[in-house]
Amino acid sequence: MLKGKTALVTGSTSGIGHGVAKCLAAHGANVILNGFGEYEAAKAEIAALGVKAGYHGADMSKPEEIEAMMAYATQEFGGVDILVNNAGIQHVANVEDFPVTKWDAIIAINLSSTFHTTRLAIPAMREKNWGRVINIASTHGLVASAQKSAYVSAKHGVIGFTKAVALETATTGITVNAICPGWVLTPLVQKQLDARGLADGTDDAESKRRLLAEKQPSLQFTTPEQLGELTVFLCSPAADNVKGVAWNVDGGWTAQ
Ligand code: NAD
């Protein structure tokens, strides 16, 4: 279905981004990966699906590196048709103890990078009169949790940004939407589980049980594959008129 399209997935060397990238490639899209750490294996996995795979190591907190990544996408792939803004980090602390550098990094990576990639991708999407911008927000874009002021602010911002750009492009073939996962078992969440285990003296299984029981009524983690399939749906013609939504995949978290 996505043959001939190019997808850029930020933060796709790990976790949700990696799962979404694989799913888009499995449906025929060429994929540009981004993120820190080892990427060769992830890139080889994408190429093995018979599509063109690329990688750019731009730091999503640096606008000039984002500009270089978007120029790479134009030169090597003829532009970005599907933009998945996924890169994100977390830090947990009460507001009075929140390190200023962590606040700045979370706002830059989780929110401002979405502005930069989107502003650079939209002109070519307008020319083609087709495009998809899919922002991986969070349940924390809809509701809050204590000790996550920067993350909650950034994710609420991502949802506001999604709606504004969806309106700006409403009469075109471009759609802009957000996906709001609940708990997904990735390195970002494992760090929080480890910290809770240390604080509560619980093992990993008990920490997971408690984490889910607190917020996610299904008591199941959402998977990167489920988020990948929803991304593919949002790229399909069936979703041509889905504009500006924040779609939660959270086991009932925000239904409470
Ligand atoms: P993860 O830590 O597994 O992956 C994060 C990815 O972002 C990695 O590829 C990492 O290298 C990349 N990254 C981090 N900082 C970067 C930077 N400055 N520049 C470029 N890349 C950078 O995390 P994840 O759980 O897969 O999270 C992905 C997204 O999903 C994040 O936006 C997160 O907020 C969101 N999310 C996660 C959950 C969850 O439960 N895991 C729930 C809701 C939303």
Identify the structural domains of the chain with CATH numbers, from first to last. 6-182+223-249 (3.40.50.720), 185-221 (no CATH)
In this predicted structure, what is the pLDDT of residue 105?
98
Q: Which atom of ligand 1 is nearest to the CA of 62?
A: 18
pLDDT of residue 196: 92
Share of the chain above pLDDT 90, in %: 99
For the residues 104-125, what does the mean pLDDT come to? 98
Ligand 1: which atom is nearest the Cα of residue 13?
A: 9
pLDDT at residue 157, as a whole number: 99
Query: Which has the closest alpha carbon to 151: 176, 128, 122, 180?
Result: 180
For residue 134, list its beta bridge partners: 84, 177
Burial of residue 199, with CB atoms counted within 10 A of its CB: 0-12 exposed, 13-18 middle, 19 or more buried: exposed
Ligand 1 probe mutation, 36, 55, 230, 249, most atoms within 8 A of CB: 36
Residues labelled catalytic: 151
pLDDT at res. 223: 97
Q: Which atom of ligand 1 is nearest to the CA of 151?
A: 34
Q: pLDDT tens-digit profile of 204-216?
A: 999 999 999 999 9
Mean pLDDT value across residues 56-64 = 98
pLDDT band of residue 2 (cuts 50, 70, 90) is very high
CA of 255 to the centre of ligand 1 (A): 24
Given this model, what pLDDT does residue 59 score? 98
49-56 average pLDDT score: 98
User: Which pLDDT score, from 0 to 100, does residue 140 have?
Assistant: 98
What tens digit of pLDDT does each residue of 140-157 get? 999 999 999 999 999 999
Distance 171 CA to ligand 1 centre (A): 31
Pocket of ligand 1 (CB under 6 A): 11-17, 34-37, 59-61, 86-89, 109-110, 136, 138, 181, 183-184, 186-189
pLDDT band per the 50, 70, 90 thresholds, residue 137: very high
How high is the pLDDT of residue 232?
A: 98
d(CA 188, ligand 1 centre) in Å: 7
| Residue whose CB lies within 8 A of the most ligand 1 atoms, among 84, 86, 191, for a mutation test | 86
Among protein residues, the one with the nearest Cα to ligand 1's atom 3 is: 15
The mean pLDDT of the chain is: 97
- What's the pLDDT score for residue 25? 98
- The model scores a pTM over 0.85: yes
CA of 114 to the centre of ligand 1 (A): 13
Instruction: For a ligand 1 pocket test, name from 14, 134, 223, 225 the mutation site with the most ligand atoms within 8 angstroms of its C-beta.
Output: 14
